[in-house]
Amino acid sequence: MNFNKVLENMKIYEAGKPIELVVRKFGIKKKNIVKLASNENPHGCSPKVSEAISKISDRMNLYPDDSFYELKDGLAKRFLVKSENIIIGAGSDQVIEFAVGAKCGKKSGVLMAKTTFAMYEIYARKMGAEIFRTPSHQHNLNEFLEIYKKHKDEIGIIFLCLPNNPLGESLDRRDVYKFIKQIDDDTMVVVDGAYQEYTRYKDEKKLIEPQKLLKKFSNVLYLGTFSKAYGLGGMRVGYGIGNVDIILALSKLRPPFNITTLSLRAGIEALKDEKFVQTAIKDNFKQMKRYEQFCDEYGFKYIESFTNFITIYIDRDSTEIFDELFKKGVIIRNLKSYGLNAIRVTIGTKNQNDLFFKKFKEVY
Amino acid sequence: MNFNKVLENMKIYEAGKPIELVVRKFGIKKKNIVKLASNENPHGCSPKVSEAISKISDRMNLYPDDSFYELKDGLAKRFLVKSENIIIGAGSDQVIEFAVGAKCGKKSGVLMAKTTFAMYEIYARKMGAEIFRTPSHQHNLNEFLEIYKKHKDEIGIIFLCLPNNPLGESLDRRDVYKFIKQIDDDTMVVVDGAYQEYTRYKDEKKLIEPQKLLKKFSNVLYLGTFSKAYGLGGMRVGYGIGNVDIILALSKLRPPFNITTLSLRAGIEALKDEKFVQTAIKDNFKQMKRYEQFCDEYGFKYIESFTNFITIYIDRDSTEIFDELFKKGVIIRNLKSYGLNAIRVTIGTKNQNDLFFKKFKEVY
């Protein structure tokens, strides 16, 4: 059977290795496996959210309220925007897909940092769009601007991943504003703030807020998610905040019931327990210090991180280190495929990090 | 901002009215509202599934095993196929999206019955594909064949919705086989079996099994779902079964983690409680008889249904009936937008159906 030509340039996405695979492959017991590979919140989610989900676990037969009225209302209040400025996605991933679908085609392209969130490229390829990347791995706005000016007519979307996954760096808000001002109204600038809750805690100068973007710019789409700080990675709930024009265009691409009934409830309840989120973030940066010390001890360079993970340059082959840790039940991310001899480690709980440091010592 | 031209022909999908809306709009108490609009299983889901979900409700922070190993294994055993013949979607809706995305573009089209599942057209429009429909509302394979032969080079996918949503009719397996034999290998035939569990119970002649389709044809994709008989509409889990070639092509379009961690567990557990499913189906057809009697009493024509809903032609304006029932807290589907003066009612529990009959009498 013949298929669409765009498929030829697409690979099947390989997600981070799941714990179940290590159990199946190496026969290691589940409790001895630590997964620090997918930037999940190691503290789980708010117990209030778990409780709310248990309570409605007999209502899985019912489709969710597809208007997502209550969730949008909660987000609108949190971010001081209107419900009509919000679109809900199955993770912010799906909002990326809507954005690329609404804006890009074979005649247009997307611009992003050399090393950034993999899904931008995957969705762009699906649309047959051209990919432009900066020479630097980390976000460099001068490079972004230079490429943008050269390919102004082709570039439909610019992705700024702030802070950046998988590297962890972020940019000062003021520089971001200055950059966006120079972009034409017809080019969409996506500010992916999946980890902004962490950034807000660590460095207020780097905090980017959707309501301020909305006031300043008509062409910006801000992305947020419940997958990281809110501890709901497994529930697939994200959102986009932007101009009504943009939200309406993206809404045409949103399939009905794109999040589950339980995910909807989880998102609504999660917004009510900010204390859980802040406690987890505080612990994250406390534990992050241990990784920085670990790097100093081994003499490894690392990127200062505004997220819940850290990217560490290794002086041995990163694939080797990855493989050896994997066999011992420690799952992290190898960044070799990004052209970096580095690993990305999610900041775990104290015990999880203890295990990482111990196993690392064994294999290094 | 300018957007892709395909968006111009797309409308924002309006899902069935949720209970929450009736609460907000008319101030009717939730317990006095009955929703027979979305073909949800009125018996909920298996209590074993609810229990399993409650047990892991503190693990919502973790992404699912993206290989869906255990779920595919369960489905493979159930359907006597291999795991590699299976793709998992966020509802079978999403598998439809993958299929259309893999096969159709501006130069190709999709063929379907005049009145059938709305998402076929929505996803086709998104790809800019042309829509071909039979003149008859219900599936008429002669008409399908005639249009196919006339537009052979254009038609990339043929959708057979068996049994058909929103009308409820189905076809004899033998006729379906005979039809597919006449279709070129390069045209994908999608057999949407979302309600096949009901058909199997009612009329074995109309039962279509994926493993038999797989043996006979290389170009068929069978769709199934946990949303209907398995009572998990709110969890968004569906699947496609087909040739490895087809599954691999569709997999390129599957976003990672496209179902939630709880949805994955729900699907796995649901397959283990066939008794719940069969009890619900048995009751469905027992209650269906009451609707048939209701139609006979009022002198309404109806379509013999092989599903968990019934389509009833009304001798008053169906929009009027819909509106009046809606105000009384009874939510059904009005089929006016399909060009039919008819309503579609999901078969509820005994009490729900009692309420429908009572309220109908009041408004008629």
- A172 vs A187, A236, B111, CA distance in Å? 21, 29, 52
The band of A10, judged by pLDDT with boundaries at 50, 70 and 90, is confident
Residue A54: closest C-alpha in chain B: B54
What pLDDT does A6 receive? 85
- Of the residues A60, A67, A230, the best mutation for testing chain B's interface (the one with the most B CB atoms within 10 Å of its CB) is A60
Comparing CA positions, the residue from A187, A190, A193 lying closest to residue A170 is A193
Q: Is residue A352 a contact partner of residue A359, using CB atoms and an 8 Å limit? A: no
What pLDDT does B13 receive? 76
Give the C-alpha separation, A149 to A130, whole Å. Answer: 16
Q: Is residue A198 a contact partner of residue A281, using CB atoms and an 8 Å limit? A: yes
Two tokens, residue A245 = 């024009």
CA distance A75 to chain B (A): 18
Position A238: which residue type? G
Measured between beta carbons, which residues in chain B are less than 8 angstroms from residue A60? 44-45, 49-50, 53, 231-235, 266
Picking from B58, B61, B231, the nearest residue to A61 by CB comes out as B231
pLDDT of A83-96, one tens digit each?
999 999 999 999 99
The band of A11, judged by pLDDT with boundaries at 50, 70 and 90, is confident
Give the C-alpha separation, A55 to A44, whole Å. Answer: 18
CA distance A297 to chain B (A): 31
Q: Is residue A189 a contact partner of residue A219, using CB atoms and an 8 Å limit? A: yes
pLDDT of B33-49, one tens digit each?
999 999 999 999 999 99
Residue B263: closest C-alpha in chain A: A260
Which chain A residues in 113-172 lie under 8 Å from chain B, judged by CB atoms?
119, 122, 126
pLDDT at position A107 over 90 = no
Mean pLDDT confidence for B334-358 = 97
What percent of chain B shows pLDDT beyond 70? Answer: 100
* B58 close to A (CB below 8 A): yes
* A38 close to B (CB below 8 A): yes
Mean pLDDT confidence for A12-38 = 83
A234 vs B18: CB contact, 8 Å cut-off? no
End-to-end CA distance of chain A: 49
What pLDDT does B27 receive? 86
Measured between beta carbons, which residues in chain A are less than 8 angstroms from residue B257? 15, 91, 93, 234, 236
Q: Is residue A205 a contact partner of residue A170, using CB atoms and an 8 Å limit? A: no
Which chain A residues in 233-262 lie under 8 Å from chain B, judged by CB atoms?
233-236, 243, 245-246, 248-249, 251-262
Burial readout B106-136 (b: 16 or more C-beta within 10 A, e: otherwise):
eebbbbbbbbbbbbbbbbbbbbbbbebbbee
Mean pLDDT confidence for A280-309 = 98
pLDDT of B46-68, one tens digit each?
999 999 999 999 999 999 999 99
What pLDDT does B11 receive? 82
Mean pLDDT confidence for A217-224 = 98
Give the C-alpha separation, A279 to A238, whole Å. Answer: 21
Q: What angle, rounded to 10 degrees, do the helices at B91-103 and B244-251 form?
A: 100
pLDDT at position B231 over 80 = yes
Picking from A63, A90, A103, the nearest residue to B3 by CB comes out as A103
pLDDT at position A180 over 90 = yes
pTM: 0.96
pLDDT at position A183 over 80 = yes
Q: Which 3 state secondary structure label does DSSP give A269?
A: helix
What pLDDT does A13 receive? 76
pLDDT of B120-176, one tens digit each?
999 999 898 999 999 999 999 999 999 999 999 999 999 999 999 999 999 999 999
A4 vs B101: CB contact, 8 Å cut-off? yes
A44 vs B60: CB contact, 8 Å cut-off? yes
pLDDT of B285-323, one tens digit each?
999 999 999 999 999 999 999 999 999 999 999 999 999
Q: Is residue B313 a contact partner of residue B300, using CB atoms and an 8 Å limit? A: yes
What pLDDT does B18 receive? 75
CA distance A117 to chain B (A): 13
Residue A89 parent element (H or E): strand A86-89
Two tokens, residue B261 = 């961690």
What pLDDT does A30 receive? 86
- Of the residues B61, B88, B218, B220, the best mutation for testing chain A's interface (the one with the most A CB atoms within 10 Å of its CB) is B61
Report phi then psi at A298, rounded to 5: -85, -10
Two tokens, residue A114 = 């050399």
What pLDDT does A12 receive? 81
Measured between beta carbons, which residues in chain A are less than 8 angstroms from residue B94? 255
The band of B207, judged by pLDDT with boundaries at 50, 70 and 90, is very high
Report phi then psi at A317, rounded to 5: -60, 125
CA distance A312 to chain B (A): 23
* A182 close to B (CB below 8 A): no
What pLDDT does A87 receive? 98
Mean pLDDT confidence for A187-205 = 97
pLDDT at position A26 over 90 = no
Measured between beta carbons, which residues in chain B are less than 8 angstroms from residue A48? none
Which chain A residues in 10-29 lie under 8 Å from chain B, judged by CB atoms?
10-13, 15-16, 18-21, 24
Task: Answer positive or negative: Cα dihedral of A38, A41, A42, A48.
Answer: negative
pLDDT at position B107 over 90 = no
Chains A, B: CB pairs < 8 Å: 246
pLDDT of A329-345, one tens digit each?
999 999 999 999 999 99
Residue A124: closest C-alpha in chain B: B253
A233 vs B60: CB contact, 8 Å cut-off? yes
Complete domains list, chain B, with CATH: 5-44+275-363 (3.90.1150.10), 47-273 (3.40.640.10)
End-to-end CA distance of chain B: 49
Residue A95: closest C-alpha in chain B: B255
Picking from B21, B50, B57, the nearest residue to A58 by CB comes out as B50
What pLDDT does B330 receive? 95
In the predicted model, what is the mean pLDDT of chain B?
95
Complex-level ipTM: 0.96
SS3 string of chain B? CCCCHHHHHCCCCCCCCCHHHHHHHHCCCHHHCEECCCCCCCCCCCHHHHHHHHHCCCCCCCCCCCCCHHHHHHHHHHHCCCHHHEEEECHHHHHHHHHHHHHCCCCCEEEECCCCCHHHHHHHHHCCCEEEECCCCCCCHHHHHHHHHHCCCCEEEEEEECCCCCCCCCCCHHHHHHHHHCCCCCCEEEEECCCHHHHHHHCHHHCCCHHHHHHHCCCEEEEEECCCCCCCHHHCCEEEEECHHHHHHHHCCCCCCCCCHHHHHHHHHHCCCHHHHHHHHHHHHHHHHHHHHHHHHHCCCECCCCCCEEEEECCCCHHHHHHHHHHCCEECEECHHHCCCEEEEECCCHHHHHHHHHHHHHHC
What pLDDT does B90 receive? 98
Picking from B7, B54, B252, the nearest residue to A57 by CB comes out as B54
pLDDT at position B244 over 80 = yes
* A8 close to B (CB below 8 A): no
pLDDT of B247-299, one tens digit each?
999 999 999 999 999 999 999 999 999 999 999 999 999 999 999 999 999 99
